[in-house]
């Protein structure tokens, strides 16, 4: 198996608390002290109700812990070389590169890991630190305590996404290779797994493909969210990470229409003289147009030209007083310009 298909730690294992102290730039005593109270050093950043009525919580570490997380990422996690089938929060990878792995698909199977972050416990994290990274027991215990909240991996923290990419480090490369031998392309975007083929596959082969993935999840204490299981074929639009992949990755007609509507709304606000709203909305609308341009360059360039005209005219006008009572209108939302949902 090619080394490029396996995640690798490219630095020397940390074998003592003194070495961890040097690597992170904090005293060992400080690291141990913060680790002892780490679970209390988070705040809820966002709580969003999901389609099934449950809630997804993301967390933000408080400054004392966040500073340590930044050092852990820069000194340790950024030294992991990830294979290209892991596309979540990896430098140079994103939802678009995930979709690119599945372009020109005739069939795509998508699986969502049930409660991925709450199901990622401290024992699994300890094994990542001690066995994947090869760190000593005391170092692995300290890093585990620093990176979990109430015994599980908290979604949203600086270190969590990188650690999430490593939970299947023992078996995922082998599963991907087995699937490749069957002509199946595999990728994982944190807790979203995509399996695709440029050719039609038999029903029995579909069952084998799904069984391989489910066995990997079960071995690590996870399960697939059956309600999110989806099998898409070329008879309709095939979507991976919210992008169409029947051919090259693309946004849906609805998404493109919403972006056009946002630009039109901005032009109308400018024409009506509502400068405050235009200035407030221009960055987000510009981000969405930039996203469109990544996948539909002709359409994106035309909208970017219209935005540039608004921006140019706006810059010729004096900045209005911030005491204005003007309120921002509701503009159809389509993400933050980074991920198209």
Residue 171 CA, distance from chain mean position: 21
The pLDDT value given to residue 337: 37
Could you tell me if 334 and 258 are in contact, meaning their C-beta atoms sit under 8 angstroms apart?
Answer: yes
- Kindly report the length of the chain: 341
Reported as a single tens digit per residue, the pLDDT across 142-165 is 999 999 999 999 999 999 999 999
Q: Residue 329 above 70 pLDDT?
A: no
73-77, 83-87, 92-96, 300-304, range with the lowest pLDDT: 92-96
The pLDDT value given to residue 341: 36
Q: Which residue would you say has higher pLDDT here, 96 or 28?
A: 28
The pLDDT value given to residue 50: 73
How many C-beta atoms surround the C-beta of residue 238 within 10 A?
A: 23
pLDDT (average), residues 166-187: 96
Q: Among residues of the chain, what percentage have pLDDT more than 70?
A: 92
Q: Residue 296 above 80 pLDDT?
A: yes
Q: Which residue would you say has higher pLDDT here, 210 or 49?
A: 210
Report the chain's mean pLDDT, rounded to a whole number: 90
Could you tell me if 81 and 62 are in contact, meaning their C-beta atoms sit under 8 angstroms apart?
Answer: no
SS3 320: coil
Q: Residue 340 above 80 pLDDT?
A: no
pLDDT (average), residues 39-64: 88
Q: Residue 98 above 90 pLDDT?
A: yes
Strand 107-112: give its sheet, edge to edge.
185-189, 192-197, 107-112, 230-233
51-65, 179-193, 232-246, range with the lowest pLDDT: 51-65
Q: Residue 101 above 80 pLDDT?
A: yes
Could you tell me if 16 and 22 are in contact, meaning their C-beta atoms sit under 8 angstroms apart?
Answer: no
The pLDDT value given to residue 58: 94
The pLDDT value given to residue 102: 96
44-53, 176-185, 213-222, range with the lowest pLDDT: 44-53
Distance separating alpha carbons of residues 309 and 204, to the nearest angstrom: 56
Q: What angle do CA 143, 146, 149 make, to 5 degrees?
A: 130
Q: Residue 175 above 70 pLDDT?
A: yes
Reported as a single tens digit per residue, the pLDDT across 259-288 is 999 999 999 999 999 989 999 999 999 999
The pLDDT value given to residue 322: 55
49-63, 66-80, 265-279, range with the lowest pLDDT: 49-63
pLDDT band at 321 (very low <50, low <70, confident <90, very high): low
């Amino acid at each position: 198996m090619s080394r490029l298909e396996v995640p690798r730690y490219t630095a020397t294992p940390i074998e003592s608390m003194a070495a961890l102290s040097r690597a992170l730039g904090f005293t060992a005593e400080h690291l141990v002290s913060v680790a002892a109270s780490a679970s209390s050093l988070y705040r809820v950043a966002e709580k969003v109700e999901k389609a099934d009525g449950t809630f997804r919580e993301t967390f933000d570490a408080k400054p004392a812990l966040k500073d340590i997380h930044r050092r852990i990422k820069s000194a340790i996690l950024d030294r992991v070389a990830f294979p290209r089938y892991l596309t979540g929060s990896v430098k140079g990878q994103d939802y678009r590169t995930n979709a690119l792995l599945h372009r020109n698909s005739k069939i795509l199977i998508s699986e969502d890991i049930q409660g991925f972050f709450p199901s990622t416990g401290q024992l699994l994290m300890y094994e990542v630190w001690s066995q994947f990274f090869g760190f000593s027991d005391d170092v692995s215990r300290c890093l585990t305590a620093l990176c979990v909240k109430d015994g599980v991996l908290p979604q949203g923290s600086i270190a969590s996404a990188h650690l999430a990419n490593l939970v299947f480090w023992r078996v995922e490369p082998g599963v991907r290779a087995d699937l490749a031998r069957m002509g199946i392309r595999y990728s994982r975007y944190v807790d979203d797994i995509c399996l695709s083929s440029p050719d039609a596959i038999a029903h029995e082969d579909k069952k084998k493909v799904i069984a391989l993935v489910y066995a990997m999840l079960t071995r690590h204490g996870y399960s697939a969210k059956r309600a999110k299981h989806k099998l898409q074929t070329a008879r309709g639009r095939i979507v991976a990470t919210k992008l169409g992949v029947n051919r090259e990755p693309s946004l849906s007609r609805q998404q493109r229409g919403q972006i056009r509507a946002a630009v039109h709304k901005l032009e109308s606000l400018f024409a009506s003289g509502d400068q405050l709203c235009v200035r407030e909305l221009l960055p987000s609308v510009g981000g969405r147009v930039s996203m469109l341009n990544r996948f539909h360059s002709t359409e994106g360039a035309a909208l970017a030209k219209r935005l540039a005209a608004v921006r140019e005219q706006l810059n010729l006008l004096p900045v209005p007083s911030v005491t204005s009572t003007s309120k921002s209108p509701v503009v159809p939302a389509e993400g933050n310009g980074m991920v198209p949902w």
